Structure 1
Amino acid sequence: MEKPLEYLIRKPKVSVEKPPLLLLLHGVGSNEEDLFSLTNYLPDSMLIVSVRGPLTLGRDSYGWYEVLFTTGQPKINLEQERESRKLLLEFLDYLKLNYQFDESKVWIGGFSQGAIMSYSIGLLHPERIKGIIALSGRLLEENKTIVDATEKVLNKRIFISHGTNDRVLSVEYARSVKGYLESIGIHPHYKEYEEGHSINREMLKDLIQWLEVELENPK
């Protein structure tokens, strides 16, 4: 099977026969090296893969789909978003063929557009994903309408962080996702920070603590 997407990988720092897998998805205009810089801080037992978006926007600049803000509201290219979802699912199959990991413990997370893609994969393909990490993201309204609130969806473990001073994606998006998830029976770990559109030390510390607790949970 050919490699569907470019990526960087950090293998577990400790000996684990079938480690949990964490996929990291960057924001628009960035690349796989961005979130890969966090891997030194994340749990040693995890196999961590930082993935490059398929859309080339410029030199070392990639995305998962195009967005236009001409109306004041983000208007996305839904076809590209669907294609990126398809590629990420193929990429999971590719990883399965090439690396050992626990398929029942696959986490997906990202920043901004990467968080948006993480919601899409985790909620629309719940059989493939145990948990979602959404840093400064939103849930696409177009995808919210096709989420099927099955037991697999309701069992999702979800971490949401967002800056109250975010001028790119307002914190209202995160609050809206939280309200929606609670309305269907999911109670995410949710926290706001006095921060803009970025990941600060406090967010990272909270994420690490949350992940460590989740990894110890046998369910």
Structure 2
Amino acid sequence: MQQIDADAVQWREGAGDDLLVVMHGLGSHEGDLFGLAPHLPERFTIASLRAPLPYGGGFAWFDFSPVDSDDHEAIDASADAVLRWLDSLERRFERVHLLGFSQGGAMAVQLARLAPERFASVVHLASFVHDGALPGDAALAARDPRIPLLTTIGELDDVIHRDKIERSSPWLDAHFDVDRRTYPRAHSIVAEELADVVAFLERV
């Protein structure tokens, strides 16, 4: 059973009653995306998580695959760990939002698929949707209104395989209220993208 290391979570207290759960990419760590915290809206409490699987010098949410895989065992184990961590929090937040980069973005969508009633919005950066169907997909698509989702794509991204992006785009459109942005960047986050993330979070 995967576990989120509660002692490794990096926190920023917010002025409101919204929690933003932040999930890093493959081989990275909880401190990576936490660098965005000073730029994000002050009303959000931010919790940046460490993925549970050691990978190189960092951590992973599930095994790397350059092509599509519909094996949900590893990603679901990590998603279940995040849900249990949320359940363990002493503070109850009115709304929980998800932000993930690359593998963390796939995790954010997977969490919404497993528990569509629990999340208020998703920020899906330089990422994809894990292939295959899940029992919660129909409930996710049926939510009214649908969960707002910001998805970003880099025209020069050579890490996320183009087939994954092309398959994921219509899937997201069928299950979320999608705001899609494209940038002339590789596998990274650029200033214009960060500004769009801030505007999205302020709107939701």
Decide which structure has the larger Cα Rg and report it: 1
Across the two proteins, how many residue pairs are aligned to each other? 199
**C-alpha displacement at 1:122, in angstroms?**
1.1
Query: 1:51 matched to which residue of 2?
Result: 49
| Deviation readout 1:9-57 (Å, 9 max, x if unpaired) | 1001x3x4xx101000000100000000000000001110000000012
Partner SS state of residue 189, structure 2: coil
| Deviation readout 1:127-164 (Å, 9 max, x if unpaired) | 11111110011011124686124533762110101101
| Correspondent of 1:192 among 182, 187, 195 | 182
Change (3 A) 1:143 1:23: farther
TM-score, with length taken from structure 2: 0.88
1:134 and 1:77 map into 2 onto residues whose CA distance is 21
1:28-47 correspondence runs (5 A) = 28-47=26-45
Is 1:118 aligned with 2:108? yes
1:1-219 correspondence runs (5 A) = 4-5=4-5, 6-12=8-14, 14=15, 16=16, 19-59=17-57, 61-69=58-66, 73-75=67-69, 78-95=72-89, 97=90, 99-102=91-94, 105-143=95-133, 147-150=137-140, 151-152=142-143, 155-170=146-161, 173-184=164-175, 186-214=176-204
Report the residue type matching 2:25 in the other structure. Answer: G
Report the residue type matching 1:101 in the other structure. Answer: F
Partner SS state of residue 93, structure 2: coil
Runs of 5+ unmatched residues, structure 1 = 215-219
User: Residue 124 of structure 1 contacts residue 148 of structure 1 at CA under 8 Å; is this kept in 2?
Assistant: no
2:85 and 2:133 map into 1 onto residues whose CA distance is 21
User: Residue 160 of structure 1 contacts residue 189 of structure 1 at CA under 8 Å; is this kept in 2?
Assistant: yes
Question: What is the identity percentage for the equivalent residue pairs of Structure 1 and Structure 2?
Answer: 27
TM-score, with length taken from structure 1: 0.82
Runs of 5+ unmatched residues, structure 2 = none
User: Residue 157 of structure 2 contacts residue 186 of structure 2 at CA under 8 Å; is this kept in 1?
Assistant: yes
